[in-house]
Amino acid sequence: MPRLEEMKTARPHALASWLRRGAAILTVLTFAFALPSPTRTCAAATVEKHRKVVFRVAPEYPDVARKIKLGGTVRLAVEVGPNGKVVSTRILGGHPVLAKFAVDAVQQWKFEASPQLTEEIVQINFQPE
């Protein structure tokens, strides 16, 4: 790792290269250690309830996450239309690899009907096998 004096006098491309390597290491560490491990069939899902979930699809557990024993909780804000179908989802937190699979599953959910559009907060907890 270069010293501060070396960084000040380094050429811009050398500094950029060093920063990219540091970012790559941080990404790997975040990916490997940020969250606990998930399960094949996945998880428990909780909804901060305004509307009851009528039909649920369990998220698929990604092979990449299983190999590195990645897990944790993904929080989603889910907009539900009056007919109970999911209109849109927004990721509030969680690892991006797990979040993609959580969003794919939640978009297939069906909620009970309501006279208006509502926003539900959904948490999906990925557990180790």
- Domain chopping of the chain, boundaries: 4-33, 43-126
What class has domain 43-126? alpha beta
**Mean pLDDT, the chain, as a whole number?**
76
**What's the pLDDT score for residue 29?**
36
Band of pLDDT at residue 109, cut at 50, 70 and 90:
very high
Band of pLDDT at residue 64, cut at 50, 70 and 90:
confident
**What's the pLDDT score for residue 69?**
86
Instruction: Tell the burial category of 33 from Cβ atoms under 10 Å away from its Cβ (0-12, 13-18, 19+).
Output: exposed
**What's the pLDDT score for residue 124?**
93
Evaluate if residue 129 carries a pLDDT over 70. no
Distance CA 37, CA 90 (A): 23
Q: What does the pLDDT average to over 114-123?
A: 93
**What's the pLDDT score for residue 66?**
84
Residues 6+ apart with CB under 8 A from 19: none
Task: Report the predicted TM-score, pTM, of the whole model to 2 decimal places.
Answer: 0.61
Band of pLDDT at residue 54, cut at 50, 70 and 90:
very high
- Residue type at 91 in one-letter notation: I
Band of pLDDT at residue 26, cut at 50, 70 and 90:
very low
